[in-house]
Amino acid sequence: MLTAQDKMALVKGASFSLANATSAKRTLALENVAKLLLERTDEIIAANQLDLDRGAKADMTKSTIDRIRLDAKRISSISDSVLKVSALPDVLGNVIRGMTLPNALQISQVRVPLGVIGVIYEARPNVTIDIAVLAIKSGNAVVLRGGRDAQSSNEVLVKLLQDALSLAELNADSIHTLDEFGREGAQEMMNAVGLIDVLIPRGGAGLIQTVVQESKVPVIQTGDGVVHIFIDETARLDWSVEILHNAKVQRPSVCNAVETLLVHEKAVDRILPAILQRLTADGVVIHGDEKTREIYAAAEVATEDDWHAEYHDLDLAVRVVADIDEALEHIAKYSTKHTESIITENIENAERFLAEVDASTVMVNASTRFTDGGEFGFGAEVGISTQKLHARGPMGILELTSTKWLVRGAGQTRA
């Protein structure tokens, strides 16, 4: 039986050939993935049901079950996303800048793969495909550790990915999973200096902080989402109601769902009752400050923990603020720098919000659910980076590349 080290060594060895594979072969591999997803839908759903059954016995939350679940519609959507990635222009080898020095040396900076990407993530079998196809498109090999909650699903999906590579005459060892090694597998990845070039954690705050603090491999930090929407004094009622409902209810288990609503005190009477009526009709539990509870007495009392909460569920913290200054102060204190949005018809306030809020994505008059690689036109995403080095925001194929300098000379020596 292969050890975790053995598997990572196989991926490292395969990475050199994948990095130099033609664009046509990498595109063919992705087309194979999309085709096999549809052909093996029944097999994937059967494996996924094993994960769901284990989750039910373990009393998993509804939001976790939702993240794990795969059905024919979701698999078809994943297949469509793969084709979107395959159709994207190839970025490898693109010249970013070039010059000829006075001594006639020709210098160019070109895009190259990162090498071997390690990704540690939780309870999201669709992420297995998203990560792998972006890695293949950008010439990267990948080591996955998706967690035991979705292990049966991931096992089938990784085999599918390896078959797709083989059918395109690419090395199937470019993708491996360490799910069977549990937490020890994740620890091996964090210590895999020389085998993994960059590690990306994708999941809850606990997982992310563990990887950031313990990894010896360079980390790109993706963020938990304590996401805010601020309703300004001039906000339109219809936009406010629809945007809040979409940002909270459409899929509450994901990181770009809104978790805290801030409302300008002069907009409370005009807007807040309609928002709360729409949300609570769909089962949203409101955690409100004192002024919110004057409007909606059934709200639970918001505590300090609520302002830090990433609920991943039908819960929403609500606070009334005096003005945009207080809203910005609250966001600066509690934001995880993922996504923040303002609803306003005041252009000055909109531009101020865009300029002053420090987050990977800042929006005006739009649902926070749009912070997504697919919605941004990337086809999929490896994660949403909340740090500032190398990548920030949804990470697509461009964010999975680095650069190198190519220098062409004719016998020049340095004086």
Q: pLDDT category, 27, cuts 50, 70, 90?
A: very high
Instruction: List beta partners, residue 119.
Output: 144, 200
Q: What is the pLDDT of residue 64?
A: 84
Q: What is the pLDDT of residue 1?
A: 86
pLDDT in tens, 186-244: 999 999 999 999 999 988 778 888 999 999 999 998 877 899 999 999 999 999 999 99
Burial 381-407 (b: 16+ CB within 10 A, else e): bbbbbbeeeebbbbbbbebbbeeeeee
pLDDT in tens, 28-54: 999 999 999 999 999 999 999 999 999
Query: The tokens 């284990």 sit on which residue?
Result: 54
Contact of 79 with 44, CB cutoff 8 Å: no
Domains of the chain as residue ranges with CATH: 4-222+382-408 (3.40.605.10), 227-370 (3.40.309.10)
Q: What is the pLDDT of residue 62?
A: 82
* Number of residues in the chain: 415
**Hey, is 216 helix, strand or coil?**
coil
Alpha-carbon distance values, 249 to 278, 288, 367, 369 (Å): 10, 18, 11, 10
What is the CB-side half-sphere exposure of residue 313 using CA atoms within 13 A? 14
pLDDT of residue 67 exceeding 90: no
pLDDT of residue 331 exceeding 90: yes
Q: What is the mean pLDDT of residues 335-344?
A: 96
At CA 44, angle to CA 65 and CA 9, rounded to 5? 95
State CA 75 to chain mean position distance.
18
Instruction: List beta partners, residue 385.
Output: 222, 393
Strand 141-145 versus strand 175-177 pairing type? parallel
Q: What is the mean pLDDT of residues 251-272?
A: 95
Residue-averaged pLDDT of the chain: 95
pLDDT in tens, 345-379: 999 999 999 999 999 999 999 999 999 998 998 98
Q: What is the mean pLDDT of residues 9-34?
A: 97
Query: The tokens 């990784």 sit on which residue?
Result: 158
Q: pLDDT category, 254, cuts 50, 70, 90?
A: confident
* Token pair of 53 as six digits: 């059954």
Q: What is the pLDDT of residue 370?
A: 97
Alpha-carbon distance of 393 to 381, in angstroms, equals 10
Residues of the chain with pLDDT > 70, as a percent, come to 100
Alpha-carbon distance of 112 to 21, in angstroms, equals 12
CA-closest candidate to residue 154, choices 188, 119, 185, 127:
127
Instruction: List beta partners, residue 285.
Output: 315
Which of 104-107's residues contact partners 24+ apart within 8 Å by CB, and which partners? 104/409, 104/410, 104/412, 105/407, 105/408, 105/409, 105/412, 106/407, 106/408, 106/409, 107/405, 107/406, 107/407, 107/408
Q: What is the pLDDT of residue 380?
A: 87
Q: pLDDT category, 14, cuts 50, 70, 90?
A: very high
Decide which of 312 and 36 is more confident.
Answer: 36
